[in-house]
C-alpha cells in the first residue's frame, strides 16, 4: 500500500505535500509554522508512538514522581490535528528514506510520497552494554510508554538503582525518591553532572541531594544485573551488590539517524543541517535531537538535545519548507536546568573551559548554596553556571546568544542587584546586536 501524493490538476501540482517524521517538540513546531503560511497543502505525520495526544517529554519525571497527572503533560489541545488539518499515522516507524524517489518506507511495508520532508525522529536512550539489561524491571525513561511501564511496577518496589548521574538519571532518581523508594545513583564519573558542570558546582548539588536522602556512588559502573528471588541485583565493578526491584538506565541519548543511512543525506553523529535546517538533500530538512548544527559558543557542529532548541529548529524548518529558505537559525546552544528539593541549577554554553584563553568570574556563598560563574572569551560571555540564585539566567543567556562585548559592565556582572537596566549601555554601544529577536526563549 502507498499513501497518496500531493494533489494535482492537469498534471501540474497545485499543492505541496509535507511529510513530518516524528511528533515531539520539533515536529509539532514545524506543523504550526507550515499551517501559518500554507493553509491548504497536505501535512502527513508518521510517529512510532501510539498515544493520540501531544505531550512534553520534559514533564515525564514530574509525572513519574506523582507531581502532575497525565492530563497535565499535554501541551496542545486534543483537537490539534483536526484544527490544523493534519493526517497522523500512529504506531509505525519510518524505516527508510529514499531521496531519489521522494519516498519513505514504513515498518509495515507501506510507502509514503512527499514533496518536502522534515526528519524530527529525535533520539533514543542509550542502553548499558552489560549482561542482564534485558531483565524485567530494567527500564529507560524517554517517552510516555516508558513512564507508564515504570509506574505499573512502582507499587511493588521499595528500592531502585539509577545507572547514570546526568540530568536524565538524576531526574529519575528524584522522581522515585518522591515515590518513597530508597534510591542509589551509580555514577562512572568522579561526580554527578560531569557533562554539564565542573567539579565544584557538581559537588554543591551532589552534597545537597545526598543530604536529602538519595545515595550517590561515584567512580563506579555496573558490570552485571542479576535476578535473584524476585529482586534485581546490580553488581558493581568493585563487586559491591545493590539489591532493588527497579533499575533505570540514564546514560544519555543517541540520535535516530538510521532511516537515512546509505543515502546522500549527510550524517555525522546526527543529521548535518545548514542554517536553514536543510540537509544535504534540498527537499529534506531535519530538526530537534536528530539535527546537528554549529554551537554558538564553540563554533563546532554538535547536537544540544534540548526542548527549546528543538522548538526553535522545528519552527524555522517549517517556515523554510514553505517559503524556500528565508529564515536562518542562529545556532544551537547548550542550556540545562534542574531543580532538586528546591535548589535550582542552570548551566549554559561553555562551563568547563580547558585553556587559558578563557576568563572565569566566580561569586559564591556555599553556606547558602549560592554559586555564580561566568565564563568569558575576549570579554564575551560564552557560558555560565547559576546555583541557588538564578534570576539573571535570561539576561546572561541573551548576552551569550548575541555575543555581546561586556567590557563596560564586566565589573557589575555578578552583583546582587544586576538586572536588565545594567545592559542599557551595551544596547546603546552595540545596537546591531539587539535587533528585534527572531529566536526567543519558548516555554511550553
CATH of the domain at 218: 3.50.50.60
pTM score, whole prediction: 0.91
- Contact assessment for residue 3 and residue 18, using Cβ atoms and an 8 Å cutoff: no
Q: Point out which residues pair with 403 in neighbouring strands.
A: none
- pLDDT confidence of residue 218: 97
Q: Percent helix, strand, coil in the chain (nearest 5)?
A: 30, 30, 40
- Segments of 301-429 assigned E as strands: 301-302, 335-340, 343-349, 358-365, 370-377, 380-387
Average pLDDT over residues 90-109: 97
Active-site entry in 58, 157, 244, 348: 58
Looking at the fold, whether 349 and 418 belong to one and the same domain comes out as yes
Q: How far apart are CA 302 and CA 414, in angstroms?
A: 29
* Catalytic-residue membership of 348: no
Looking at the fold, whether 259 and 226 belong to one and the same domain comes out as no
- pLDDT confidence of residue 425: 79
pLDDT one-digit tens code per residue, 340-370: 899 999 999 999 998 889 999 999 999 999 9
Residue 226 pLDDT exceeds 70: yes
C-alpha gyration radius of the chain:
23
pLDDT band at 309 (very low <50, low <70, confident <90, very high): very high
Q: How far apart are CA 171 and CA 165, in angstroms?
A: 9
Kindly state whether residue 299 falls inside one of the protein's structural domains.
yes
- pLDDT confidence of residue 11: 40
Residue 28 pLDDT exceeds 70: yes
Please tell me the total count of domains within the chain. 3
- pLDDT confidence of residue 170: 95
- pLDDT confidence of residue 426: 80
**How many angstroms separate the Cα of 155 from the Cα of each of 61, 188, 233, 267?**
17, 29, 19, 43
Looking at the fold, whether 296 and 225 belong to one and the same domain comes out as no
Write down the mean pLDDT value for the chain: 92
Write b or e for each residue in 252-277: b if 16 or more Cβ atoms lie within 10 A of its Cβ, otherwise e: ebbbbbebbeebebebeebbbbeebb
Looking at the fold, whether 94 and 75 belong to one and the same domain comes out as yes
- pLDDT confidence of residue 13: 47
Looking at the fold, whether 274 and 192 belong to one and the same domain comes out as no
Residue 8 pLDDT exceeds 60: no
∠ at Cα 76 (75, 81), nearest 5°?
150
Residue 441 pLDDT exceeds 60: no
374 is in which domain, residue-wise? 342-434
The separation between CA 241 and the C-alpha centre of its own chain, rounded to angstroms, equals 32
Neighbours of 240 (CB within 10 A): 11
Kindly state whether residue 442 falls inside one of the protein's structural domains.
no
Average pLDDT over residues 254-267: 97
- pLDDT confidence of residue 435: 61
C-alpha cell at 127: 542502553
Kindly state whether residue 188 falls inside one of the protein's structural domains.
yes
- pLDDT confidence of residue 437: 47
Task: Give the dihedral sign, CA 404/405/409/412.
Answer: positive
Looking at the fold, whether 11 and 46 belong to one and the same domain comes out as yes
pLDDT one-digit tens code per residue, 104-154: 999 999 999 999 999 999 999 988 889 999 999 999 999 999 999 999 999
Closest CA to 361 of 348, 346, 372: 372
Kindly state whether residue 333 falls inside one of the protein's structural domains.
no
pLDDT band at 379 (very low <50, low <70, confident <90, very high): very high
Amino acid at each position: 500500500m502507498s499513501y497518496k501524493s500531493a494533489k494535482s490538476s492537469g498534471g501540474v501540482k497545485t499543492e505541496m505535500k509535507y511529510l513530518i517524521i516524528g511528533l515531539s517538540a520539533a515536529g509539532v513546531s514545524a506543523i504550526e509554522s507550515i499551517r501559518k503560511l500554507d493553509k491548504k497543502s497536505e501535512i502527513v505525520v508518521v510517529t512510532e508512538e501510539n498515544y493520540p495526544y501531544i505531550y512534553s517529554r520534559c514533564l515525564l519525571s514530574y509525572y513519574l514522581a506523582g507531581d502532575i497527572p497525565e492530563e497535565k503533560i499535554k501541551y496542545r489541545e486534543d483537537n490539534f490535528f483536526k484544527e490544523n488539518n493534519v493526517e497522523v499515522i500512529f504506531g509505525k516507524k519510518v524505516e527508510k528514506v529514499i531521496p531519489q524517489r521522494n519516498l519513505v518506507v514504513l515498518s509495515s511495508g507501506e510507502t509514503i510520497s512527499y514533496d518536502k520532508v522534515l526528519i524530527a525522529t529525535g533520539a533514543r536512550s542509550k542502553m548499558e552494554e552489560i549482561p542482564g539489561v534485558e531483565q524485567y524491571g530494567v527500564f529507560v525513561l524517554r517517552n510516555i510508554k516508558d513512564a507508564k511501564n515504570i509506574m505499573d511496577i512502582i507499587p511493588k518496589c521499595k528500592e531502585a538503582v539509577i545507572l547514570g548521574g546526568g540530568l536524565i538519571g538524576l531526574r529519575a532518581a528524584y522522581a522515585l525518591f518522591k515515590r518513597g523508594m530508597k534510591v542509589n545513583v551509580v555514577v562512572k564519573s568522579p561526580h554527578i553532572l560531569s557533562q554539564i558542570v565542573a567539579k565544584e558546582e557538581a559537588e554543591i548539588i551532589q552534597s545537597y541531594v545526598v543530604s536529602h536522602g538519595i545515595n550517590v556512588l561515584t567512580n563506579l559502573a555496573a558490570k552485571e544485573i542479576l535476578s535473584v528471588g524476585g529482586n534485581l541485583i546490580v553488581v558493581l565493578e568493585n563487586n559491591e551488590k545493590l539489591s532493588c526491584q527497579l533499575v533505570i538506565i540514564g546514560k544519555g541519548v543517541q540520535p535516530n539517524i538510521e532511516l537515512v543511512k546509505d543515502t546522500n543525506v549527510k550524517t555525522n553523529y546526527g543529521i548535518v543541517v545548514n542554517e536553514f535546517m536543510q540537509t544535504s538533500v534540498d527537499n529534506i530538512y531535519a530538526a530537534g535531537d536528530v539535527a546537528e548544527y554549529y554551537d554558538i559558543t564553540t563554533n563546532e557542529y554538535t547536537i544540544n538535545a534540548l526542548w527549546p532548541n528543538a522548538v526553535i529548529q522545528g519552527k524555522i524548518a517549517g517556515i523554510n519548507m514553505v517559503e524556500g529558505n528565508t529564515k536562518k537559525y542562529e545556532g544551537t546552544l547548550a542550556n540545562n536546568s534542574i531543580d532538586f528539593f528546591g535548589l535550582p541549577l542552570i548551566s549554559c554554553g561553555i562551563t568547563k573551559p580547558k585553556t587559558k584563553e578563557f576568563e572565569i568570574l566566580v561569586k559564591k556563598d556555599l553556606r547558602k548554596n549560592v554559586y555564580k560563574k561566568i565564563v568569558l572569551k575576549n570579554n564575551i560571555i560564552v557560558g555560565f553556571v547559576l546555583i541557588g540564585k538564578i534570576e539573571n539566567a535570561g539576561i546572561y543567556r541573551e548576552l551569550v546568544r548575541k555575543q555581546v562585548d561586556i567590557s563596560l559592565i564586566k565589573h557589575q556582572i555578578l552583583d546582587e542587584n544586576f538586572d536588565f537596566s545594567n545592559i542599557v549601555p551595551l544596547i546603546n554601544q552595540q545596537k546591531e546586536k539587539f535587533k528585534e529577536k527572531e529566536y526567543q526563549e519558548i516555554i511550553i
